[in-house]
Amino acid sequence: MAYLSTMASMRPVAVTMGDPAGIGGEISLRAWQALRKGPQCFVVLDDPDRLAELARTINCDVRLRVVDRAAAAARVFREALPVLPVRLAVPAVPGRPDKANARGVIASIERATDLALHGVVGGVVTNPINKAALYDAGFEYPGHTEFLAALTGVPGKEIMMLASPSLRVVPVTVHVSLRDALATLTTEKIVATARTTDAALRRDFGIAQPRLAVSGLNPHAGEQGALGKEEELIIAPAITALRAAGVDVSGPWPPDTMFTTASRTRYDAAICMYHDQALIPLKTLDMDHGVNVTLGLPIIRTSPDHGTAYDIAGKGIASPTSLIAAIELAVTLAERRAQ
């Protein structure tokens, strides 16, 4: 899976601020340093004063250019990091989230999403947020993904994919407890998740005939019912329905063997039953290059596969690798969707 675009995108992608007390600002600066001579182009929706101070703090030689519209980013990108200003209420302190800045964080996401909906930018790349720090500003969503689905008018249609060069995984149940994941897993959810994944692999990833592997839930995929009935009662009927709809799907796969090197050659994405079943193998195989992709939205959205990292914020040691991968993938998906 080559994420790097081979041509300059006509539109930039928008990179959001993320939590200003986290590492989002510094990895955005480092990402520009790494990508400024390449075919990608992005614009950051952030407070330029914050970024300038942060660049001085971590001794990062980055020129900033405030722009009044995203379309101007391509003109200046090779010489300076273009910034669409989103002002913070108070100066950000690395490692110390401040609820006074919650409104600015939310505004960055809202404006980036609006630009993508209107075709001004090719996609949105979101830096990590801390949801608890946003609740006092009226943030009512479990996370970025649900907020973006609401902003784009498709609440409940969002599907989370984690993608790296070695594996793509899609959990059917996401940010719920394991007990709730088991209680809410249904045939209909598996079918909807797999069909959305199949469509996205065709449209955005350029795979003409996607192959999906559906995991089991129990050890040994239930061992013909001896270790659990969910495979027979919930998962197998979903596979039957998907095949009837023309989806190339296999399973239920025993979860403990479906991520081996040999097994991964037999499918393009793994549909998993719960969060950790999907994310543990991906993060073990390639944490640095993992990218969070939201399927089912009318816009392209990617994100680095890590959190705010308050413990290292402002120290200049945060790796931009996952953000770079997220930007490169967003550019590639945007170009494929445009074609």
**Domain spans of the chain?**
1-154+296-339, 166-288
pLDDT category, 2, cuts 50, 70, 90? very low
Q: Please report the pLDDT score of residue 7 as a whole number.
A: 34
Q: Please report the pLDDT score of residue 286 as a whole number.
A: 87
Which of 8-17, 32-41, 138-147, 304-313 is predicted with the least confidence, judged by mean pLDDT? Answer: 8-17
pLDDT category, 10, cuts 50, 70, 90? low
DSSP state of 185: -
Task: Give the full edge-to-edge strand order of the sheet including 124-125.
Answer: 64-66, 81-85, 42-46, 13-16, 124-125, 301-304, 291-295, 159-164, 167-171, 269-272, 211-215, 248-253
The whole-chain average pLDDT of the chain stands at 92
Listed in order, strand segments (DSSP E) in the chain are 13-16, 42-46, 64-66, 81-85, 124-125, 159-164, 167-171, 211-215, 248-253, 269-272, 291-295, 301-304
pLDDT category, 281, cuts 50, 70, 90? very high
The architecture in CATH of the region 166-288 reads 3-Layer(aba) Sandwich (3.40)
Say if 1-154+296-339 and 166-288 have the same CATH topology.
yes
Q: Which one-letter amino acid corresponds to residue 187?
A: T
For the domain made up of 1-154+296-339, give the CATH fold: Isopropylmalate Dehydrogenase (3.40.718)
pLDDT at 78 over 80: yes
| Helix residue ranges per DSSP H, 36-117 | 48-57, 73-76, 102-117
pLDDT at 182 over 80: yes
pLDDT at 57 over 80: yes
Rounded Cα distance, 315 and 22, in Å: 11
